[in-house]
Amino acid sequence: MRLLIVGQLEGPLATAGRIATQRGAKVAHIDGIDGALNALRNGQGADLVMCDVVLDIGRFIDSLKSEHINVPVVACGINANTEAAVRAIRAGAKEYVPLPPDAEMIAAVLQAVAEEDATFIARDPSMQPILQMVDRVGGSDASILITGESGTGKEVMAHHIHRKSRRAAGNFVSVNCAAIPDNLLESELFGHEKGAFTGAVARRIGKFEEANGGTLLLDEISEMDMRLQAKLLRAIQEREIDRVGGTTPVKIDIRLIATSNRDLEEEVKAKRFREDLYFRLNVVNLQLPPLRRRQADIVPLAAYFAEKYAKANGIPNRPLSSEAVAALQAHHWRGNVRELENTMHRAVLLAQGDKIDPNAIMLSGQSFAPEKPSAAEIAAQTAGSFAPASTGGLVGRTVADVERDLIIDTLSHCLGNRTHAANILGISIRTLRNKLKQYSDEGIAVAGGATDEDRAVS
């Protein structure tokens, strides 16, 4: 993990840097905000910025937003400086770390804010061929395509591959192609020159250059616009990129990993994904099975998440009761590992006594679980008769109304996770964004409301 400390590196701030280094972070230091902005523009890269609260954190965060530099900022300062801490949080800082620093707090912030977890748990027999393939190809520079349902751990697998590669000492840079609007994704990937477009106030190094010598992950690549796919294909073939507004090609040396929760062969047939790009990416294909087909991984993963969130919340770690284990193993896990993680986080907070029992296991999405038909329904189907109850609640409603309720209910079920909701609905994240923006404009409440990304798409 890469940590950038901004401020005068002396006293407590220097101690925070040493603690972060001891916890495995790669720490860089810059005295002021302008220097930090220039470093991030020029490709130094950071997974987390820790900024002294005496600096103008509001201006720093505003500059990051206006230049579309996505990096979380944590404020830090002496305990007595509460007013400055409040200003920093209101300006957009993710956390406030009091100084002098506590080693465990620094460790918790590094894990919680950067969200880079080195643990990869895979004990189920279905995962062993995949791990064996990673062992064989991990040390090469071959492009790897990781496919699987949303929440199966594709990004965690990408981290695992990077750590096994000869590029492990280099940067691991991730770009979520589904979360960045098309008009911004090109600059995010390839960078831009000063004045290339409105708002390009300085040269910006893109993710390809930031990942130079390391690994670049293109997460949910199936959401990338066809025009941008052509430029990506050239970058892979020629091993060079063109910054937006630039005149000179820039050589790159990266290992490329891509993920998708869609069947890219079907996307190619539907003319939504370039066939030549698909074959360039699909040198090695790793298909991650859904959690419901990894029964032997459910309990180890649940125990790991229970320990993780008990530590994060400062409460005792409790083992799972046999009844809780049975409940977890019987669930359908439509949200895969991500759903299991959220379930265990809730369970840790709700559990009482010495163990995590079924009362603390609040399973979501029960309405999506397959149900056995009743005897009356079976009889009706056998007789070829029509069962009014199956559509009685829909008669008299328009298709648009039913579609709207389905989309909003699914998004609520996914706790606002739009990528997961789009996967369940079988539509692209772009289509989901447009629908939600339409509903929001009509005055209908949606989970999270219309985001800046939604407005940018329009």
Q: How far apart are the C-alpha atoms of 405 and 412, rounded to whole Å?
A: 10
Q: How far apart are the C-alpha atoms of 182 and 193, rounded to whole Å?
A: 18
Confidence at residue 196, expressed as pLDDT on a 0 to 100 scale? 80
Using 50 as the pLDDT threshold, list the residues of the chain that sit under it. 114-117, 367-392, 450, 452-458
Confidence at residue 366, expressed as pLDDT on a 0 to 100 scale? 54
Torsion of CA 36, 42, 45, 46, to 10 degrees: 10
CATH number of 397-457: 1.10.10
Confidence at residue 440, expressed as pLDDT on a 0 to 100 scale? 83
Is the preceding peptide bond at 100 cis, omega within 30 degrees of 0? Answer: yes
Confidence at residue 35, expressed as pLDDT on a 0 to 100 scale? 92
Contact yes or no for 331/366 (Cβ under 8 A): no
List every span in the chain annotated with CATH 3.40.50.300: 133-287
Confidence at residue 182, expressed as pLDDT on a 0 to 100 scale? 81
Confidence at residue 333, expressed as pLDDT on a 0 to 100 scale? 94
Confidence at residue 134, expressed as pLDDT on a 0 to 100 scale? 92
Contact yes or no for 343/415 (Cβ under 8 A): no
Q: What is the mean pLDDT of the chain?
A: 83
Q: What angle do CA 446, 447, 453 make, to 5 degrees?
A: 90
Fold (CATH) for 291-368: Helicase, Ruva Protein; domain 3 (1.10.8)
Residue keyed to tokens 């990004």: 155
Structure-block tokens of residue 113:
């804010």
List every span in the chain annotated with CATH 1.10.8.60: 291-368
**344 Cβ contact partners less than 8 Å away, ≥ 6 residues apart:** 302, 305, 306, 309
Structure-block tokens of residue 270:
């539907």
Give the CATH architecture of domain 133-287.
3-Layer(aba) Sandwich (3.40)
Confidence at residue 410, expressed as pLDDT on a 0 to 100 scale? 81
Q: pLDDT tens digits for 194-241?
A: 888 777 778 888 899 989 999 999 999 999 999 999 999 999 999 999
Instruction: Tell the CATH superfamily of the 2-114 domain.
Output: Response regulator (3.40.50.2300)
List every span in the chain annotated with CATH 1.10.10: 397-457
Confidence at residue 319, expressed as pLDDT on a 0 to 100 scale? 94
Question: Could you give phi then psi for residue 219, rounded to 5 degrees?
Answer: -80, 135
DSSP 8-state code for residue 389: G
Find the helix packing angle between 295-312 and 336-350, rounded to 10°: 50
- pTM (2 decimals)? 0.64
Element (H, E) at 146: strand 144-147
